[in-house]
Amino acid sequence: MRSPILQSATKYLLPILLLFSFFLLLRGHYYPGGGFVGGLVASIAFVLHSFANGTEATMKILRRKPLSLIPIGLGVSTVSMTAPMLFGLPPMTGLWFEEPIPVIGMIGSSLFFDLGVYLVVIGVILTILFTISLNNLTEKD
Amino acid sequence: MLLAVLSGLIISLLIIPFGKLLTTKWSFLLTILPASLFLYFMSYVPAISAGSSFLQHINWIPSLGVDFDFKLDGLSLLFALLITGIGTAIFFYARTYLKGYIFFDRFFGYLCLFMSAMLGVVLSDNILLLFVFWELTSISSFFLIGFNNDNSDSRKSALTALSVTGLGGFFLLAGLILLGNIAGTYTISELIDARELILNHELYPLILGFLFLGAFTKSAQFPFHFWLPGAMKAPTPVSAYLHSATMVKAGIYLLARFSPILGGTDYWNYPLMAVGGFTMLFASIHSLFRIDLKGILAYSTISALGILTFLIGLGTREAIIAASVFILVHALYKATLFLVTGIIDHETGTRDITALGGLRKVLLPVSIAGILAALSSAGLPLTYGFIGKDLIYEATLHTDYQTLGWILNAVAIATNIGLVAAGFMAGIKPFVGTLPKQFENIHLPYKSMWIPPLILAILGLVFGWFPGPVGDFINHATANAVYGSETDMYLKIWHLNIVLILSVATLLAGTLVYFVNKPSPSKLKAIEKLNSIAPQRIFRGYANDIMRFSRWYTDLFHNGYLRSYHLKIILFAELLLAYKLWISGPITLDLEKITTPSFYEIGVIVILIGALYIVVTTPSRLTSVVAMSVIGYCICLIFVFYSAPDLAMTQFTIDTLSTVLFVLVLYKLPSFINHTGKAILYRDGIIALSFGVIISLIALRVWSEPISEEIANFYGENAYILAKGKNVVNVILVDFRGIDTMFETVVLSIAALGVYSLIRLRLKSTEKE
Amino acid sequence: MELLLIILLGLLYAAGVYMILRRSMVKLLLGIMLLGSGTNILIFLLGGITKGKPPVIDENAKIFQDAFADPIPQALILTAIVISFGLTAFAIVLLKRVYALVNSDDLDDLNTPEEEDI
């Protein structure tokens, strides 16, 4: 599956797809998209890269094990869930900044919740696929 | 009193953690428990003899009428003294008997539990509390019978005993609840005041029936007697304690306790006399043909219990006094005989009376105990048994029934002739005659084993000589408690009247039977046939049928093949759903609701069905995976057509990733093999298709119902106002139903961790190799 | 179109049931996935299908001006799709591991494990 064309294509595709996935995440509250879809698209980007360049190369780009994304994502979601409690509100109450931020739009706690979902989805899918493919490699040897 | 009752329970609980420390050396500490309880109850004797009684009330579950109500009167005290007194002897004895046994601690745990439960039965003043303890005695008896749990006979006997007594307990509970509901109280002392109300109630015969069933099963009355001989599989101290002296008398206690409340009517008297009379004669004849010492004792115990039931049924003042004396007489001599049998078994290794003989030469103190007990059981003058027998005859003679009285008297005499012979067989036969060679090296066991039976036997003699003090107590206290009015009869050593003549005649006839009757295995077999009248066979057959049925059922439903489980579950679901569809009536279709599909929609669905066909039929793994992804993409298109962009995107990406996943894992596996025959394929195809049809019909039915749009409108209206979002699906996911999503991500994380650890685990195990 | 979808989901269920009645572990897994898809379609259909009106509020409006597709089944199905991926992944790895140990895809071979180290 290692073709030079795919290898050089993924070099550009990876950042573009990642950007697209992030875009899906941010606009999820207003248009079709959101944490799940964004996370899935981002994982597809990494999987595509790993197909072209090998799983080890993708792992290098990630710098860390995808497994570590899971606790980070769960943590972000939990914090955004419980943050309203600091202000004496019941958990999961939506908190919003007064003014919209350029490009992104309105920012609220639910965006951070979605961000957590996004990270968990990436972590879960890459963990599953990369462990399997790394395992396949070791079995071949 | 509460502490006295519960102390055994507490100790048996303590034995669980500390049991292993309980070596034989320290186990004498345990005997302190029954001994001190015995002394405690002894201290009540003067007061109770003087006619007072003691009550204790502690709230437990007042709303259900279940409280710790204890009452100590003459009857309770007699039983409490028996339980703790004989208990002390048994505890001493069992320490040596079971020396070095691995489950030593467990045995004493059960024994303490039993003692506690039995005390609870006789002291409870609340009928529901009484029932709780009643069942506890059954349970501890179950454990003790099945004590040799590696022996299948033991287990079977334990189960039989538990099921028979448990069945009786079930009826007893029903009877007690009825009784409590009619009288409006569950306290025994108050039930007596409601006597008239209960006797005139239309359910009175039913209550009696239930109560009798409970008492008869517990006290092994015909036709439920068959569990008691089986219960002799228990270690001998247990047989002595539970299955002759105390537990089996719980049924008698129950009858005695309730006779002032329910007794004195024809409904009460005749069944008890009939069942008791038949049981005592039946079992007494049976006991003559046993060759196993414990078998003889078991049947003579059943016979004695029959006598007690009979006497309570007779219900006259003399009968009650006779019963209360006989309870004590029987407990003393029967426990002795059992303990003696235990020693013989322990030392010679056999209980076959045809093989035993002449043991007095080697086991002198034991033989004294045995012979004394046998004489007491025979009712020789100057033993306590004589007084007991005397009273029984007197009771049968002094009845209101003229001719019936003579018949009853004849039955009692016949029974006693049998019992005399049986007592001689068990207590004298092993010790007289010539000593077989193989037993010559036997030596006397440790004294803690032979002293308890000797004391009990001597007590039987002492009470017989000085009936005064004991008699006073039993007379006044017990009989008053049962009969309800003052009794003024005194026990005498001698009666020079027809009763004495009858007693002597009985003794002579019994001795004659003893010399004439030579039990042998062939006779045993012949008499065993008589037992087939009893429901024992029905019971066993029923148990076997249940076993066979469950085996058949297990084979049918748990054959270990996953697909056959699936098949059964699906078939069942189909039947259930089809039935539900059937009763819900015809489906009415609103044709206007149906939209016409466009050309490309039909195209997508056709492709989907084609891919489905390929998935089902293809022999190639890869083809099926590709077809699966085609199905996924087609579904994705359906989502696109019908305004679900979020779903479409998710389905699309997940489908891609699933395909990657399958390819990563499956390319190594072999292609499908087809093991199954054509017929089974068709069968499965039909089942699957009918399942599909049923689901379609249900979908059609539900779809044709009007939809409530309330919830959808709520989300639609509030998505922006409350959550500042315009993509309602996303708003539901991250805001309205955020906690669901949170847990969904947790589930996903667990799946990922599962995959990760499964593969890691594998890597590690290969590394090890 | 609704009738077509009803027939389709019946077929998906039938195929799924047929597959889980087979001996192969892979077919069992595929059968479960087919049942899952069938259920998704069922929920989607019962929510009422609407063409071209996604549950997204107009740019300039605060609430829906028009009829819209029911968002609840969609949210449910979205969750179901993602969860079923987790299930599939776990099952497939389990299957792979079982295959490596007993060297067979046949469910019946799991009944009588030859070695104790499974």
Name the band, by pLDDT with cuts 50, 70 and 90, for residue C16: very high
In chain A, domain spans:
4-140
Nearest to B642 among C23, C49, C90 (CB): C49
Mean pLDDT of B122-147: 88
Cα B171 to Cα B156: distance, rounded to the nearest angstrom? 23
Mean pLDDT of B264-282: 86
**Among candidates B229, B248, B218, B235, which has minimal Cα distance to B90?**
B235
Nearest to A73 among B650, B745, B759 (CB): B745
Nearest to C81 among B651, B669, B689 (CB): B651
pLDDT tens digits for B661-678? 888 887 766 666 666 678
CATH number at residue C10: 1.10.287
Beta-carbon separation of C54 and B647 below 8 A: no
Residue B362 has a pLDDT of 78
Residue type, A7: Q
Could you list the residue range(s) of the whole structural domain that residue B760 is in?
Answer: 710-769
Kindly list the residues from chain A whose CB atom is less than 8 angstroms away from the CB atom of residue C89: 128
pLDDT tens digits for A85-112? 777 777 666 666 666 665 555 667 778 8
For residue C93, the chain A residue with the least C-alpha distance is A132
Nearest to A74 among B646, B749, B755 (CB): B749
Residue B530 has a pLDDT of 63
Cα C12 to Cα B689: distance, rounded to the nearest angstrom? 10
B-C contacts at Cβ under 8 angstroms: 257
Beta-carbon separation of C82 and B621 below 8 A: no
Question: Taking 80 as the threshold, does the pLDDT of residue B343 lie above it?
Answer: yes
Question: Which tokens in the block code for residue B724?
Answer: 């500042």
Could you say which residues from 49 to 68 on chain A have a Cβ atom under 8 Å away from some Cβ of chain B?
67
Beta-carbon separation of C56 and A32 below 8 A: yes
Nearest to B684 among C12, C18, C63 (CB): C18
Nearest to C96 among B665, B675, B741 (CB): B665
Question: Taking 70 as the threshold, does the pLDDT of residue A53 lie above it?
Answer: yes
Is residue C77 situated within a structural domain?
yes
Question: Taking 90 as the threshold, does the pLDDT of residue B281 lie above it?
Answer: no
Beta-carbon separation of B665 and A132 below 8 A: yes
More confident residue, A25 or B356: A25
Beta-carbon separation of A33 and B730 below 8 A: yes
More confident residue, C56 or C87: C87
**ipTM score assigned to the predicted complex:** 0.90
Beta-carbon separation of A40 and B645 below 8 A: no
3-state class (DSSP) for residue B477? helix
- Give the residue numbers in C contacting A (CB under 8 Å), as ranges: 54, 56, 78, 82, 85-86, 89, 93, 96
Residue where a domain stops, chosen among B519, B539, B557: B519
Is residue B397 situated within a structural domain?
yes
Cα B73 to Cα A99: distance, rounded to the nearest angstrom? 88
Highest mean pLDDT among B88-102, B113-127, B147-161: B113-127
Cα B506 to Cα B488: distance, rounded to the nearest angstrom? 28
The alpha helices in B147-248, defined as continuous H runs, are 152-183, 188-191, 195-199, 204-218, 227-231, 236-240
Using CA atoms, how far residue C94 sits from B754, C25, C73, C117, in Å, is 9, 10, 31, 16
The count of structural domains within chain C is: 1
Q: Which of A120, A128, A132 best probes binding to C when mutated, by most C CB atoms within 10 angstroms?
A: A128
Beta-carbon separation of C34 and B612 below 8 A: yes
CB-count burial class (<10 Å; 0-12, 13-18, 19+) for B574: middle
For residue B738, the chain A residue with the least C-alpha distance is A92
Average pLDDT, chain B: 81
3-state class (DSSP) for residue A90? coil
| A125, A32 contact by CB (below 8 A) | no
Residue where a domain stops, chosen among B504, B519, B534: B519
pLDDT tens digits for B383-401? 777 777 777 777 777 766 6
Phi, psi angles (nearest 5°) of residue B148: -80, 75
- C83 close contact with B: CB closer than 8 A: yes
Spell out the residues 6+ positions from residue B466 whose beta carbon is closer than 8 angstroms to its own: none
Q: List subunits contacting chain C, requiring 3 or more Cβ pairs under 8 Å.
A: A, B
Q: Which residues pair with A96 in a beta bridge?
A: A108
| B346, B445 contact by CB (below 8 A) | yes
Q: Which of B212-226, B486-500, B672-686 has the lowest mean pLDDT?
A: B486-500
CA distance C98 to chain B (A): 11
pLDDT tens digits for B137-149? 888 888 888 888 7
Q: Which residues pair with C56 in a beta bridge?
A: B727
Question: Taking 60 as the threshold, does the pLDDT of residue B576 lie above it?
Answer: yes
Residue A104 has a pLDDT of 57
CA distance C82 to chain A (A): 8
For residue A96, the chain B residue with the least C-alpha distance is B724
Q: What is the DSSP letter of B438?
A: G
Residue B630 has a pLDDT of 93
Q: What is the DSSP string of B264-285?
A: SSHHHHHHHHHHHHHHHHHHHH
Mean pLDDT of B472-477: 66
Q: List subunits contacting chain A, requiring 3 or more Cβ pairs under 8 Å.
A: B, C
3-state class (DSSP) for residue B446? coil
**Among candidates B219, B14, B236, which has minimal Cα distance to B116?**
B14
Question: Taking 60 as the threshold, does the pLDDT of residue B487 lie above it?
Answer: no
pLDDT tens digits for B189-226? 888 888 888 888 888 889 889 999 999 988 888 778 88
Give me the half-sphere count of Cα atoms (radius 13 Å) on the Cβ side of residue B111: 32
Residue C115 has a pLDDT of 43
Percent of chain B with pLDDT over 90: 8
Highest mean pLDDT among B514-518, C20-24, C57-61: C20-24
- C3 close contact with B: CB closer than 8 A: yes
- A12 close contact with C: CB closer than 8 A: no
More confident residue, C59 or A12: A12
Cα B311 to Cα B398: distance, rounded to the nearest angstrom? 12
Residue B172 has a pLDDT of 92
Beta-carbon separation of C86 and A31 below 8 A: no
Phi, psi angles (nearest 5°) of residue B680: -65, -35
Cα B200 to Cα A119: distance, rounded to the nearest angstrom? 80
Q: What is the DSSP letter of A105?
A: B
Question: Taking 60 as the threshold, does the pLDDT of residue A1 lie above it?
Answer: no
User: If you compute the radius of gyration of chain B from its CA atoms, what whole number of angstroms results?
Assistant: 38
More confident residue, B557 or B268: B268
Q: Which of B390-404, B509-523, B532-546 has the lowest mean pLDDT?
A: B532-546
Is residue B612 situated within a structural domain?
no
Residue B402 has a pLDDT of 66
Name the band, by pLDDT with cuts 50, 70 and 90, for residue B314: confident
Beta-carbon separation of B642 and C44 below 8 A: yes
Beta strands in B88-173, from DSSP E residues, in sequence order = none
For residue A29, the chain C residue with the least C-alpha distance is C56
A4 upstream amide cis, omega within 30 of 0: no
Kindly list the residues from chain C whose CB atom is less than 8 angstroms away from the CB atom of residue A128: 89, 93
Mean pLDDT of B441-458: 78
Phi, psi angles (nearest 5°) of residue A105: 100, -155
Kindly list the residues from chain A whose CB atom is less than 8 angstroms away from the CB atom of residue B747: none
CB atoms within 10 A of CB B163: 17
Residue linked to tokens 């298709």: B689
CA distance A31 to chain C (A): 7
Dmax over CA atoms of chain B, in Å, equals: 119
Residue B769 has a pLDDT of 41
Kindly list the residues from chain B whose CB atom is less than 8 angstroms away from the CB atom of residue C48: 707
Kindly list the residues from chain C whose CB atom is less than 8 angstroms away from the CB atom of residue A32: 54, 56
Give me the half-sphere count of Cα atoms (radius 13 Å) on the Cβ side of residue A68: 5
Cα B723 to Cα C31: distance, rounded to the nearest angstrom? 39
Beta-carbon separation of B726 and A92 below 8 A: no
Nearest to C93 among A30, A31, A132 (CB): A132
| B121, B130 contact by CB (below 8 A) | yes
Cα A53 to Cα A4: distance, rounded to the nearest angstrom? 9
Is residue B329 situated within a structural domain?
yes
Question: Taking 70 as the threshold, does the pLDDT of residue B95 lie above it?
Answer: yes
Kindly list the residues from chain A whose CB atom is less than 8 angstroms away from the CB atom of residue B729: 32, 34
Beta-carbon separation of C78 and B594 below 8 A: no
Name the band, by pLDDT with cuts 50, 70 and 90, for residue B493: low
Beta-carbon separation of A132 and C54 below 8 A: no
Could you list the residue range(s) of the whole structural domain that residue C81 is in?
Answer: 2-110
Percent of chain B with pLDDT over 70: 89
Question: Taking 90 as the threshold, does the pLDDT of residue B528 lie above it?
Answer: no
Question: Taking 70 as the threshold, does the pLDDT of residue C20 lie above it?
Answer: yes
A-C contacts at Cβ under 8 angstroms: 13
Name the band, by pLDDT with cuts 50, 70 and 90, for residue B531: low
Q: Which of B174-188, B304-318, B462-476 has the lowest mean pLDDT?
A: B462-476
Beta-carbon separation of A128 and C93 below 8 A: yes
| C45, C9 contact by CB (below 8 A) | yes
Q: What is the 3-state secondary structure (H, E, C) of B482-538?
A: HHCCCCCCCCCCCCCCHHHHHHHHHHHHHHHHHHHCCCCHHHHHHHHHHHHHCCHHH
Kindly list the residues from chain C whose CB atom is less than 8 angstroms away from the CB atom of residue B752: 86, 89
Q: Which of A35-49, B258-272, B487-501, B731-745 has the lowest mean pLDDT?
A: B487-501
Q: List subunits contacting chain B, requiring 3 or more Cβ pairs under 8 Å.
A: A, C
Name the band, by pLDDT with cuts 50, 70 and 90, for residue C116: very low
Kindly list the residues from chain B whose CB atom is less than 8 angstroms away from the CB atom of residue C14: 688-689, 691-693
Phi-psi region of C98 (alpha: psi -120 to 50; beta: other; left: phi over 0): alpha
Question: Which tokens in the block code for residue B306?
Answer: 């029959």
More confident residue, A7 or C103: A7
Beta-carbon separation of C86 and A32 below 8 A: no
The count of structural domains within chain B is: 2
Nearest to B657 among A24, A81, A125 (CB): A125
More confident residue, C54 or B629: B629
Could you say which residues from 24 to 43 on chain C have a Cβ atom under 8 Å away from some Cβ of chain B?
24, 26-28, 30, 33-34, 37-38, 40-42
Kindly list the residues from chain A whose CB atom is less than 8 angstroms away from the CB atom of residue B731: 29, 110
**Among candidates B54, B650, B36, which has minimal Cα distance to C44?**
B650
